[in-house]
Amino acid sequence: MDVRVGDILSMRKKHPCGGNRFLVLRSGADFRLRCEGCGREFMIARVKAEKNIKAIHREDTHA
């Protein structure tokens, strides 16, 4: 799955604050995500995150 830094992920499960949209801050073997609802940052394993992704929102930049 092609997930890049700066993408917004809509997840199937909600964060405890109620939000389900997360900004990707780091990608690799695991992701560092920031909840758009409360601003909390956390790390999650790539495999676990990819199973939970509903949609990827990306702003395409054409250079």
Domain count across the chain:
1
63 falls within a domain: no
52 falls within a domain: yes
Q: What is the pLDDT of residues 1-50, one digit of tens each?
A: 889 999 999 999 999 999 999 999 999 999 999 999 999 999 999 999 99
Q: Torsion over CA of 9, 48, 28 and 54, rounded to 10 degrees? A: -20
Residues β-bridged to residue 23: 8, 34
pLDDT (0 to 100) of residue 62 = 52
Amino acid identity, position 11: M
| Burial category of 28 from C-beta neighbours within 10 Å (exposed 0-12, middle 13-18, buried 19 and up) | exposed
Full residue range of the structural domain in which residue 22 is found: 8-57
